[in-house]
Amino acid sequence: MLEAGCNRKTTLISLGGGVVGDLTGFVAATFMRGINFVQIPTTLLSQVDSSIGGKVGVNFKNYKNIIGSFYQPKGVIIDTETLKTLDEREIINGLGEVFKYGLIMDYDFFLWLNDNLNSILKLENNYIMNIVKKSLNIKKIIVQKDEKESNIRKVLNFGHTIGHGIETLDDFNTFKHGEAVVLGMMLESLISTEMGLIDRKYYIEIIDSLSRLVSPVKFSAFEQKQIMNAIKHDKKNEKGKIVLVLPIGKGRVNIYNNVDEKLIEKSLKDGVVI
């Protein structure tokens, strides 16, 4: 950037998915102690989640976004026509985050997603516009109350503590972020059931819905160990304790830092059961 003549008045433009946006934002946050950048997200995941909120960063030594900052873009430009260039797996990758919004804050939205999933996967315009607008509005409400994730913003991490561990498998080459989050939400819902926070009926409803996106996975002993190691080093942990966001009712979650590690290990070993 120095060789290109960039300076404090330079504006970076991020055109691409979540990784491109996170990297561009991190460079903007650190170059000359901060320059402007604009997000133009082109994937569903980046349009509904990563392009707003100000989290920027990069992975390092098999740890997810362990180096980064909170740094807001000067603007976000979304054109849902770019989604037509994506395959179905990439759309499902984004839908993992969309379903999360329903589970943490809006049960009616969660039900609507289930009812209209086929139309969404066909990228029918009215349905796509609805999920993008609804997702961004839910995230906006939360982030405006807690930009630096000191309190309520942590609920956006539902599925992410275990999900980030799953994502690290095979050096981030097995599961996409949204797929890992879906699997993480399944396992964290299992833990919630084991702790008596939700009943089995709601647990089955969650698993049935999320299984339409990603099939449950049984992890090998080696994979379980790797996932658990990543969880123990998760940046969301506090005072050496693993922090989990767990469902406590329909469209409701809460934050816990007292979950027995053996219960997490058991969920990874047993896998999702119905």
Active site residues: 33, 55, 97, 139, 149, 153, 157, 160, 164, 177
Q: DSSP character for 237?
A: -
Cα angle value 16/21/23 (rounded, 5°): 120
Question: Distance from CA of residue 247 to its chain's centroid?
Answer: 15
CA–CA dist 80, 90 (Å, integer) = 14
Retrieve residue 22's tokens.
Answer: 């996170």
Residues 6+ apart with CB under 8 A from 81: none
Quick one: three-class SS letters along 168-231?
CHHHHCCCCHHHHHHHHHHHHHHHHHHCCCCCHHHHHHHHHHHCCCCCCCCCCHHHHHHHHHHH
For residue 64, what are its two tokens? 């997810």
Residue 180: exposure state from Cβ atoms within 10 A (0-12, 13-18, ≥19)? buried
What is the amino acid identity at position 39?
Q
Question: Alpha carbon of 87 to those of 123, 142, 209: distances in Å?
Answer: 11, 30, 21
* Sequence-ordered strand ranges (E) for the chain: 11-16, 36-41, 55-60, 63-70, 75-76, 244-249, 252-256
